Chain A
Amino acid sequence: MSVVPWYDGRDGMYSWFWRHLPGNAWVKALISLVLALAVVYVLFQYVFPWAEPLLPFNDVTVDNQ
């Protein structure tokens, strides 16, 4: 396993990421899955609730409170 910056590898950032996960392919897949779920959780719990009011669907009042 070579420790090179992702942009020096042969492939893109995800394969760099994959190469730097520990364990065999199964362990890597499991870790990736857990990380992906964690990202989705953070998005749904914190990022999207922040971003959603910026869309126009919330403006239902006539006095803009």
Chain B
Amino acid sequence: MSLRVLVRTFSELCITVGTLIVLFVVYVLFWTGVKADADMNRQIEQLQNKWAKGAARQTPADSAQGGGSGSPAGSPGPGAAPAPPGPYENGKAFAVMYIPRLGFTWNKPVLEGTGTEVLKKGLGHYARTAQLGQQGNFAVAGHRRTYGDPFKDFPKLKRGDAVVLTDGTTWFTYRIDTGPYKTVPTDIEVIDPVPRKSGYTRAGRYLTLTTCEPEWGRSHRLIVWAHLDSTRPVEAGKPEALRR
């Protein structure tokens, strides 16, 4: 075994490892996005198909309940108060989120759960937090980088920005009250029903978004808080925040 073979083999190993690293970077930066975008579009498509079918067999009786939970201001007419959807199914999409500040065409599915596999396919709803539009804190986590970079522009969010969600029957428009707040990963208080640091003091219908900080790191989390501003039935058309 000559020195030549040793050197040659070593250089071939270096080239192999280098190629592996380049491929892995391509996978992380590019391929996860391709896959996540396809997954998210499919989730949204499936949701819209499901909602289209559901709307066909919806009866006026559906609007009877929901009044007990005290719909917030601006939900006029029958059909405005949505049936509480029942427990969300883990890993399944149940709503679509729109944030005009992140882009006019920005829309992502919201899935139940915050596991790694769930967050590959969309935004994840913290399972133990309130349901969409209900009393309490509807908390959602999303990737800042990789897997489609859904929350890449998270720091641009500011007070007054709309976060619009729909569950197929109702549009929920939340307004951001507290801009990106930096905290540590163990600060689970931020998704409490009344998150203390948000400045909210009374029970209400809140929304919390969480993502990682710094952009490519894990040391901190960024949080924004919003309150439910208005709701409207889907038949009434898109809410103002989404019109242009």
Contacts and interface: CB of A to CB of B under 8 A. Distances in A.
B191 A12 contact: no
A44 B218 CA distance: 24
B187 A40 contact: no
A30 interface: no
Interface string B79-114: 000000000000000000000000000000000011
Contacts of A48: 23-24, 27-28, 31
Given A48-B24, A48-B27, A61 B9 contact: no
Interface in A10-64: 10-14, 40, 43-44, 48, 51-53, 55-64
B116 interface: yes
A17 to B, nearest CB: 10
Which of A51, A55, A57, A60 has the most C-beta atoms of chain B within 10 angstroms of its own C-beta?
Answer: A60
B209 to A, nearest CB: 10
A48 B185 CA distance: 25
Interface in B1-45: 1, 4-5, 8-9, 11-12, 20, 23-24, 27-28, 31-32
B188 A12 contact: no
B120 to A, nearest CB: 9
A65 B9 contact: no
A7 to B, nearest CB: 5
**Secondary structure at chain B's binding surface: helix, strand, loop or mixed?**
mixed
B143 interface: yes
Given A62-B183, A62-B188, A62-B190, A56 B24 contact: no
Interface residues of A toward B: which range?
20 to 34
A13 B216 CA distance: 37
Contacts of B185: 59, 61-62, 64
A59 B221 CA distance: 9
Contacts of B190: 62
Contact of A60 (B4, B5, B28, B221): B221
10 contacts: A8-B1, A44-B27, A44-B31, A52-B32, A52-B146, A57-B145, A60-B114, A60-B142, A61-B221, A62-B186
Interface of B: 1, 4-5, 8-9, 11-12, 20, 23-24, 27-28, 31-32, 113-116, 119, 124, 126, 141-146, 151, 183, 185-188, 190-191, 210-212, 216-218, 221, 223
Interface of A: 6-14, 40, 43-44, 48, 51-53, 55-65
